[in-house]
Amino acid sequence: MTSFVFKGRNKQGAQVTGEREAGSENELAGMLMAEGIVPTSIKDSVTDSDQAIDWNELLKGKGKVTLDELIIFSRQMNSLMKAGVPMIQALRGLSTSSRNEFLKEGLEDVIRNLEGGLPLAAAMQTRSDIFDNLFMSMVHVGENTGQLDVAFKQLADYLEMERETRKRMKQAVRYPLMVLIAISIAIVVINIVVIPAFASFFAKFDAELPWQTRVLMATSEFFVQYGWFLLVALVGSIYGFIRYIDTEQGRFRWDRFKLKAPLVGGIFERIALGRFSRTFSMTYRTGVPILQALVVVANAAGNAYVAKFVNEMRGQIERGETLTRAASNSGMFTPLVLQMLAVGEETGALDSLMDQVADFYEEEVDYDLKQLSDAIEPILIIVMGIMVLIVALGVFLPMWDLASTMQG
């Protein structure tokens, strides 16, 4: 047995810390989930803190199990639970039919933990690389209320909405990214292929060239001579950036930048807030206490900057503030949304009104995506016009001068 130090949140959302003995980190995580504690950090008491296991990492749709596979799994579990198939038999059947070896291995681990006496949520927690905290919380509530089939149906519905959200995010960046790639390729081709051809032509006449042409030729020469260095620097910069945003500080700053970026920042913000609203509605509807629901929502936000505000909201609620006041203090929500939150708290229909908030944000995202191309096209035309003007002045001015000299 090994001694582990853990941190987590109980059913009321309060932070719980302690030290216990267990055979492994996964075994302790299962024990805590069985007690209604969502673990946020587990580490060996004799190791450094940087070896802590992060149980909050969202892995939905990442790694070796895709979002589509989780949706299918949830739909199948809903049907099997509704039909009254025993839990272990249902999981064993899904494991046998799964084409994903990683998911199959995970389900077999879950089955072994179920046979060892753990409840389903705790058994799934031992495979947090497949099932995240949102999944755990929903299954835990479904077990306690005897409505596992409903829990899996809600999970499937939520994951399908999450898939649509990710599609929206890809649409938000696809067009600007294509424009930047096209402009970059054009600049490289002009400097490596076009300008050197004209430079060799002008060199034959030994004439004084306009300053625009000299600038173009100097830029082209730099590209030709140091092209490999620029390529290595670009690849190194991309690699360094990816490593940086894998850190906690880097992820936070990158997520904050995405929400404030020109043109697409507002879209990313509304996508994140729509995801927050939808997740909160689903967890609150199933009976998860509001403080614990906010813990789950912060993990599911998909944006470290938004998660920071959600955690601050939770802290204010712990100190006695209402949800509406905490949301207002966060500065994230529009007055219309705050009014809907206030009505939801007063009428007890917070879950349905949060669904309406999510619908509101998603409709705005759809509208913004349609307007994005209209906003980018003038910018693209201006950039391409400037590029054409520079090339025209640099290439054709000396040709006109040469033609005038020959005619004279």
Question: How far is residue 120's CA from residue 151's CA, in Å, rounded to a whole number?
Answer: 12
Integer angstrom CA distances of residue 112 from 23, 220, 295: 15, 65, 29
The pLDDT, as a whole number, for residue 68 is 87
Angle between helices 248-260 and 304-318 (to 10 degrees): 100
The pLDDT, as a whole number, for residue 233 is 92
Question: How far is residue 148's CA from residue 192's CA, in Å, rounded to a whole number?
Answer: 63
The pLDDT, as a whole number, for residue 303 is 82
The pLDDT, as a whole number, for residue 47 is 47
> What size, in residues, is the chain?
408
The pLDDT, as a whole number, for residue 12 is 57
Angle between helices 67-82 and 148-189 (to 10 degrees): 170
Q: Which residues of 26-64 are buried (b: 16+ CB within 10 A; e: fewer)?
A: bbbbbbbbbebbbbbebbeeeeeeeebbebbeeebbeee
Contact present, 70 and 163 (Cβ < 8 Å): no
Under-50 pLDDT residues of the chain: 47-63
The pLDDT, as a whole number, for residue 1 is 62
Give the DSSP per-residue string, 325-346: HHHHHHT-S-HHHHHHHHHHHH
| β-strand partners of 83 | none
The pLDDT, as a whole number, for residue 9 is 67
* Structure tokens, 286: 């199933």
Return the closest-CA partner of residue 13 out of 34, 33, 36: 36
**How many Cβ atoms from other residues are within 10 Å of residue 138's Cβ?**
25
The pLDDT, as a whole number, for residue 402 is 63
The pLDDT, as a whole number, for residue 62 is 40
**pLDDT tens digits, 12-55:** 556 678 888 776 665 676 677 667 676 666 776 654 434 444 43
The pLDDT, as a whole number, for residue 149 is 87
